[in-house]
Each structure stands twice: as structure tokens, then as C-alpha cells.
């Protein structure tokens, strides 16, 4: 048996020949991970090098912390395929049936899937996203106009608490905005989408009502999938079904679930993080100036690199025994790439410095290799429209808490702000009630002029989106 010792002078030497199960890995998801994940990654790196055994809620896995090693895994889908069928411990019945991460990994959709069907499915995703991602296409223009209108509705609603006041920009803006964009993309017929959006929130928040919410949501998405297969429109489900006619109603519904989750959670995190970056000036050279110079995208690029919404990726599995870092990863062992840890790797971290002149393009926040995010442009443009509109409408926003006291929420996969308390001052004319906004008809073309009506108070759409609007109205605080 070959032995290789990790010689970092700190942790105990680790015999390379040991199996993952026998290494008695330490739990990853501790209180420290919740509050200071960078320290946890650092400790693991010191102790184990670029690849560390960890315990994920009772299941052992390899966490890839090294930038080079992460890149190696992501680039080579043959050596490190996805697909739970490749997981040795799962085939041996060693993954508990009630493993908390089971529900999010056992849903078979494009993000998780390996195997022969994957390539066709990914190709279909690329085709179905194209109309919404290329800014020259009418679908992309309509989406942009709709998101502008949604942003205005949300800001106006929030402003009903007063021209100046306190708000939670996460609950009142960053979270609902992408959900509304998702509803548009999915082509939900009127208020049906509204309830589904609320259920998506319940699922993401993993509270006591998450399970019935998930059941309801899947039924709604199955209905939607069936409708779009039968009577296609100009929306994402119809484009996906057209690009992949073999998809069953259930399979299409699972893909829609994946889209809804990605748009609502990840884009919301990106919006909140960008807002914090802009108002706290964490970035160099006065970001507010950069923003007004039309560089929201550049700010966002930095934000997504420094604070990747998807901190750890879904697992891959070693196709055969493979040397990675200081260990031999056995065939069928699960391997989790950690973008957050890889970005802190000393071989990459200097690129993240504000004054770095080295290109930061090689960051992993959107993944890398054949399975990188196909929706980067879509996600960025929804977030950019939201952030731009916010700073156009607010004359002044400041954090209501010191930046290092903002509350974060972490899961094994993502990290985002739990809330974003701000003090604001709105600009522009008095808020007035308007009979209708640009986004009354989700899925229909929104006239550009209406979409940019900064003062409209939601009329019909508010009534239609009753459950969402009731919730948001409940969050309005009176100002001053
Ligand atoms: C800020 C927002 C987003 C971020 C940071 C993000 C990031 C990522 C990352 C890192 C991956 C690679 C995961 C891996 O290698 O295991 C990924 C994959 C993927 N993302 Fe995104 N994403 C975002 C938004 C979206 C949105 C809005 C959609 C859908 C409309 C989407 C659809 C996908 C899909 C389908 C994959 C799987 C690709 C494959 O395995 O072939 N993402 N995303």
C-alpha cells in the first residue's frame, strides 16, 4: 500500500491508502461554517491540503478546496461524472434514507444528472434558454422590460411605507424580483404562478411547511408542463419541450422546478450581494461611480467571484481510483467542489484582490468545463436590471447594520444574506396609484414606456398576485 504524508507541519500526517469511510471525517456544517466559512476552509486546507475528507450531515465526502484540483475535476466529466448511480456508498445502502440532503439530490434533473441522457437534455436547455439570453431577441427584450416593471412595482410598494424609511431589501426586493422573473419565464397563467412562487419560498426556507409546499409545487409544475406540451407558448417550458420532444410531463416538470429554484435563490443572492457591495463600497475606487458609469455588470462580476452564491457544487464521483491532492479518491467516492474554498486558495486568491491586474475570468462561480452554468447571461441580466433600477429609484440607501453584522444563511450548497436591512430615501415624484403596470400580464409583451414608469403603484397585478402581494404588503414599515 502506498503512503503519502501531508507535510504541512500543522495537522497530523494522513496515510494516503486509507479509505474515505475510515478517515472519520469531521462535520463540515458546524456553527463556524455558518458564521465564518473561510476559517473552516482554511483549517481543512492546513490539515489535509487541497482535498479534505468531510462529514456532510452523517455522510462522508471529499471536499475539493484547491483551485487547480477543482478545475481538474470540473473539466473532466469522464473521470469525474455526476449521477447518483455512480455513488458506491449509495449503491451499498450506506446513505441513510432520511439523509437531509437526499431530497435535493434525488430529484433527477439536468444539474444532478449523469449518464447517457444528459447530453441531449443539456443541449435542449441551451436551445431553450437562447431566446431569453441573447439581448437582440424579442423574448429577451420582453423579459428585460418585465423585470424593469416588476422592480418598479416592488420599489413603489416598499415606498408606501414612506418616502424615507427602513426596509429589508432581501425580503422586499431581492427575493421576490427573481421569483417574478421566473414566473414570466415559465409563462404561468396569471395568479396560478403566484401561489407557486410562495410555495417555492417555503421549500427554499426548509421550514415546517416545506414538505406540503413541495408537493403542491410539483403538482402545479406538472400541470404547467402538461399545458405547455399541449398548447405551447413563447416561454421557457414550451421551448424546452420543443427542443426535447421525448421529455415526459414529469421530466419537464422537474426541469422547471430546477429553473425556479435557481432563478429565485441564486439570482436573489446575487442581487443582495451586489447591493451590499455598492452601498458599503467594499470594492475599490467608489463603486457608486462605477455603477453610474454603467458598470453594474463589472461590479456584479466581482461580487459573484468574491461571494459565489453556489459555494459548493453538487457531487461528482470518481470513475476510478484517482489521485487528487494528497489522497487517493476511490472509484465511486463523492467529490464536492467548493468554489468558495477554491477562490481562497493561495494560488488563486491574489486575483481577487481589488488592485489585481490579473484577469479574474478564471473564477469558478459559474462552474467550469462542460457542465458550467448555461444561464449565466440570463441570471446576470435579471440581477443587473434589478440593481440598476434600485439605484435609479433610490436617492440614498445605507445599511441599517454594520456590514460585518449582516446575517447570513448557509446551506451545504449556497450562501446568501438572510436579510438586508437598509435605510432609504426615494427620489422622484410623489407616489401615486396607477391603474395598471407593465407587468399585469405575465408572459405578454410589456410596453417599454410602461415598464419604465417609476411611480406606478401596482393595480390589477397586485390583486392578481394576491398571496405574494399580501405577504409583501405585510412587510412595509412606516418610514422615519
Ligand atoms: C446567480 C445565479 C447563478 C449562479 C451563481 C449559478 C451557478 C451555477 C454553477 C456554479 C453551476 C455548475 C454546478 C456544477 O458544476 O455542479 C451551474 C449549473 C447550472 N445552472 Fe446555474 N447559476 C445561476 C443561475 C442559474 C439560473 C437562473 C438557471 C436557470 C435558468 C441556471 C441553470 C443552471 C443549469 C441548468 C446548470 C446545470 C448545467 C449542467 O450540469 O450541465 N443557473 N450554475
**Residue 281, pLDDT score:** 72
Distance of CA 338 from the midpoint of ligand 1 (Å): 14
pLDDT higher for 215 or 330?
Answer: 330
pLDDT at 456: 39
Mean pLDDT of 428-438: 47
Closest atom of ligand 1 to CA, residue 365: 10
Is the pLDDT reported for residue 273 higher than 80? yes
> Mean pLDDT, to the nearest integer, of 411-417?
89
pLDDT digits (tens, 9 = 90+) for 201-260: 788 776 777 788 888 888 999 999 999 999 999 999 999 999 999 999 999 999 999 999
Higher pLDDT, 158 or 6: 158
Distance between CA 438 and CA 263 in Å, rounded?
21
Using CA atoms, how far apart are residues 440 and 193, in angstroms rounded to an integer?
Answer: 13
Q: Is the CB of 155 under 6 A from ligand 1?
A: no
Q: Decide if pLDDT at 450 tops 50.
A: no
Higher pLDDT, 455 or 257: 257
**Average pLDDT over the chain, rounded to an integer:** 84
Compute, in angstroms, the gap from residue 372 CA to the centroid of ligand 1. Answer: 7
Determine whether the shortest distance from the Cβ of 315 to ligand 1 is under 6 A: no
pLDDT band, residue 284 (cuts 50/70/90): very low
Of the candidates 371, 339, 336, the one whose C-alpha atom is nearest the C-alpha of residue 51 is 336
**pLDDT given for residue 144 in this prediction:** 96
* C-beta of 373 in contact with ligand 1 (< 6 A): yes
Render pLDDT for 131-153 as a digit per residue (tens, 0 to 9): 999 999 999 999 999 999 999 99
Q: Where residue 431 falls among pLDDT bands split at 50, 70, 90? A: low
Please indicate whether residue 43, judged by its CB atom, sits closer than 6 Å to ligand 1: no
Higher-pLDDT residue of 4, 101? 101
Q: Which of 76, 82, 373 to mutate to test the pocket of ligand 1 (most atoms within 8 A of CB)?
A: 373
pLDDT the model gives residue 435: 37
Cα 176 from Cα 347, distance rounded (Å): 38
How many other C-beta atoms are found inside a 10 Å radius of the C-beta of residue 264? Answer: 24
Question: How many A from CA of 47 to the centre of ligand 1?
Answer: 31
pLDDT tens digits for range 14-54: 555 678 988 889 999 999 998 899 999 999 999 999 999 99
Instruction: Determine which residue's CA is closest to atom 27 belonging to ligand 1.
Output: 263
Whether 392 has a pLDDT exceeding 50, the answer reads yes
For the Cβ of 111 lying below 6 angstroms from any atom of ligand 1, the answer is: yes
Inter-residue contact 264 to 251 (CB < 8 Å): no
Q: Is the CB of 367 under 6 A from ligand 1?
A: yes
| 266 within ligand 1 shell (Cβ under 6 A) | yes
Pocket flag, ligand 1, residue 386 (CB < 6 Å): no
pLDDT for residue 429? 58
Give the mutation target among 105, 335, 375 for probing the ligand 1 site: most ligand atoms within 8 A of CB: 375
Average pLDDT value for residue range 79-90: 97
Residue 258 CA to ligand 1 center (angstroms) comes to 9
> Is the shortest distance between the CB of 316 and ligand 1 below 6 Å?
no
Query: In the prediction, which pLDDT does 293 show?
Result: 42
Distance in Å, CA 139 to ligand 1 centroid: 20
C-alpha to C-alpha distance for 329 and 336, rounded to whole angstroms: 12
Mean pLDDT of 308-328: 95
Contact 390, 147 (CB under 8 A): no
Ligand 1 contact, 67 CB (< 6 A) = no
Q: Which atom of ligand 1 is nearest to the CA of 74?
A: 15
Tell me the mean pLDDT in the region 254-280: 92
Model confidence at 465, pLDDT cuts 50, 70, 90, reads low
222 C-beta closer than 6 A to ligand 1: no
Identify the pLDDT of residue 16. 58
CA 422 to ligand 1 centroid distance, Å: 29
Amino acid at each position: 500500500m502506498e503512503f503519502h504524508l501531508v507535510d504541512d507541519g500543522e495537522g497530523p500526517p494522513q496515510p494516503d491508502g486509507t479509505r474515505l469511510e475510515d478517515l472519520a471525517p469531521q462535520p463540515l456544517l458546524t456553527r463556524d461554517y455558518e458564521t465564518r466559512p473561510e476559517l473552516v476552509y482554511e483549517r481543512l486546507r492546513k490539515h489535509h491540503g487541497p482535498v479534505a475528507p468531510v462529514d456532510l450531515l452523517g455522510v462522508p465526502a471529499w471536499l475539493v478546496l484547491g483551485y487547480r484540483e477543482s478545475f481538474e475535476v470540473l473539466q473532466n466529466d469522464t473521470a469525474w461524472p455526476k449521477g447518483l448511480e455512480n455513488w458506491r456508498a449509495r449503491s451499498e445502502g450506506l446513505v441513510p434514507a432520511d439523509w437531509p440532503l437526499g431530497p435535493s439530490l434525488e430529484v433527477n434533473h439536468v444539474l444532478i444528472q449523469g449518464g447517457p441522457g444528459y447530453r441531449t437534455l443539456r443541449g435542449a436547455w441551451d436551445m431553450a434558454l437562447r431566446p431569453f439570453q441573447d439581448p437582440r431577441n424579442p423574448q429577451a427584450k420582453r423579459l428585460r422590460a418585465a423585470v424593469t416593471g416588476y422592480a418598479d412595482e416592488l420599489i413603489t410598494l416598499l415606498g408606501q411605507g414612506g418616502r424615507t424609511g427602513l426596509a429589508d431589501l432581501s425580503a422586499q426586493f431581492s427575493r421576490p424580483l427573481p421569483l417574478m422573473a421566473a414566473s414570466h419565464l415559465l409563462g404561468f397563467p396569471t395568479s396560478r404562478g403566484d401561489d407557486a412562487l410562495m410555495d417555492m419560498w417555503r421549500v427554499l426556507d426548509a421550514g415546517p411547511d416545506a414538505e406540503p409546499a413541495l408537493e403542491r409545487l410539483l403538482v402545479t409544475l406538472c400541470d404547467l408542463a402538461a399545458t405547455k406540451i399541449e398548447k405551447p407558448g413563447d416561454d421557457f417550458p414550451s421551448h424546452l419541450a420543443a427542443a426535447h420532444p421525448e421529455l415526459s410531463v414529469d421530466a419537464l416538470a422537474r426541469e422547471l422546478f430546477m429553473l425556479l429554484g435557481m432563478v429565485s435563490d441564486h439570482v436573489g443572492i446575487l442581487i443582495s450581494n451586489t447591493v451590499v457591495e455598492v452601498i458599503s463600497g467594499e470594492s475599490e475606487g467608489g463603486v457608486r461611480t462605477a455603477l453610474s458609469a454603467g458598470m453594474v455588470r463589472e461590479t456584479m462580476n466581482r461580487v459573484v467571484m468574491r461571494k459565489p452564491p453556489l459555494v459548493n457544487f453538487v457531487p461528482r464521483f470518481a470513475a476510478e481510483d484517482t489521485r487528487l491532492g494528497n489522497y487517493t479518491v476511490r472509484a465511486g467516492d463523492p467529490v464536492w467542489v467548493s468554489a468558495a474554498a477554491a477562490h481562497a486558495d493561495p494560488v488563486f486568491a491574489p486575483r481577487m484582490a481589488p488592485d489585481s491586474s490579473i484577469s479574474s475570468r478564471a473564477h469558478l462561480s459559474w462552474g467550469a468545463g462542460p457542465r458550467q452554468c448555461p444561464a449565466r447571461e440570463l441570471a446576470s441580466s435579471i440581477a443587473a436590471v434589478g440593481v440598476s433600477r434600485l439605484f435609479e429609484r433610490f436617492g440614498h440607501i445605507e445599511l441599517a447594520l454594520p456590514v460585518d453584522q449582516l446575517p447570513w444563511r448557509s446551506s451545504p450548497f449556497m450562501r446568501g444574506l438572510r436579510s438586508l436591512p437598509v435605510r432609504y430615501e426615494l427620489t422622484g415624484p410623489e407616489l401615486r396609484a396607477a391603474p395598471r403596470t407593465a407587468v399585469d400580464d405575465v408572459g405578454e409583451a410589456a410596453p417599454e414606456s410602461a415598464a419604465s414608469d417609476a411611480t406606478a403603484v401596482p393595480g390589477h397585478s397586485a390583486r392578481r398576485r394576491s398571496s405574494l402581494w399580501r405577504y409583501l404588503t405585510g412587510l412595509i414599515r412606516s418610514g422615519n
